[in-house]
Structure 1
Amino acid sequence: MTEGKTLSKSQQAYHWIKGRIASQTFTPGYRLVLGSIAGELDMSVVPVREAIRQLEAEGLVQFEHNIGARVAMVDDSQYRNSMEALSILEGSATALSAPRLTVDDLKAARAINAKMIETLDHFNPSAFTQLNQEFHAVLIAPCPNPRLHELVTVEMQRLNRLRDSTFSFVPGRAHESVKEHEQIVSLIENGAPVVEIERAARLHHASTLDAYLSKEHGADSDMRGDAAATHVH
């Protein structure tokens, strides 16, 4: 491994902890004991503390008085906020990447979308979500703004922690999603104005959020209706 690729100890700890949060090994509320993590990684607590501070800044970890660091708890408002942020960030990243995407890149994106279509008959929300992330990763890979690319990645990982798969809640949305993927690729392929590409990419995520919120509000209405019926009787 070259020097340029060597991770500092704090970054090693950061990726190790973050990976366990993403995989749900460390679930919301899980207490992060610095000494135990440092022992597991064979390092001092100093880089572990730095890693946890970085994860706190990303909203993945929170500190509680007299308790210490815990994996952050989640609620629906956090999910909505992340989805809204992702629609804006990824819309911009896709637009900036569009002129730099090659023919092979677009072929790769279409191939992934084709796999997503194949899953629709025997739908697996988690597998569909994984392919969905791979599709969007291809489209933003050449983004010339590394910070923007990083922010998209962070929000995507945050969504993974907040919800295993949005499509578990709104499976019908998957059919529309793959159609919108094809539309975005076609816009890029045909050299559409970047503002049009950005709008399509942003609307794509916003539509998924709208579908989720409609489902959520429908469930709330059903619960209120059931409660009202119970009181009538």
Structure 2
Amino acid sequence: MDTFSSFFQSQSASRRGWSYDSLKNLRHISPSVQNHLKQVYLSLCCALIASAAGVYLHILWNIGGFLTTLGCVGSIIWLHSTPSNDEKKKVSLLMAAALFEGASIGPLIELAIEIDPGMLISAFVGCAVAFGCFSMAAMLARRREYLYLGGLLSSCISILFWLQFASSIFGGSSAIFKFELYFGLLVFVGYIVVDTQEIIEKAHFGDLDYVKHALTLFTDFVAVFVRILLIMIKNSENNERRKKKKKRGD
């Protein structure tokens, strides 16, 4: 919580010069880059719809698992190897990757629905609000202001990887699991800021591949959503255990 509060304090300190005009016009972003961002976020919305369709297909036919994860990874690799001028193919591959990703996280979402359907809506809204706020913070910031965080976040990802690796071999406690959840959430929220500013910076230098940029933000969105949902499921399970203990005590 201290890390979150310090981050928000730094955000508020650097935004004292905000005004409605700056929020409306985003003057430091050129019209071509603004148009590019519109394409990126429209593609992101379409990818989220495709992902929701993948979740629905999993609920209908129980297709989510190793094969859909493999299909998602394969689609992403294929997308990155496709030439930039083949726009239709890249959009199709983005939708395919999103569909497979939705099916892959389908079991988790199905579990959340069984516990409390409202949990799913709360997690999505919370993720969307966080994503929107931190994306806007990156857009309104000075150019390259947050790009230096990329190296730090990469190191944090390495820490998460080795924690999961150690837990799989030696076994992990609930404390480590909680740390991974909250630390991972913080890391991927940071990636929203860094990736948004990196997309803007690339667009300034002529890289207008909106499909690849939408894929980057899509992976950030899903990572944050999954962690928020896991935290809510874990808290719900803990509350149920407390209720059962109280009943036994009575």
| TM-score, reference length from structure 1 | 0.28
Higher RCO (C-alpha under 8 Å, 6+ residues apart)? 2
| TM-score, reference length from structure 2 | 0.27
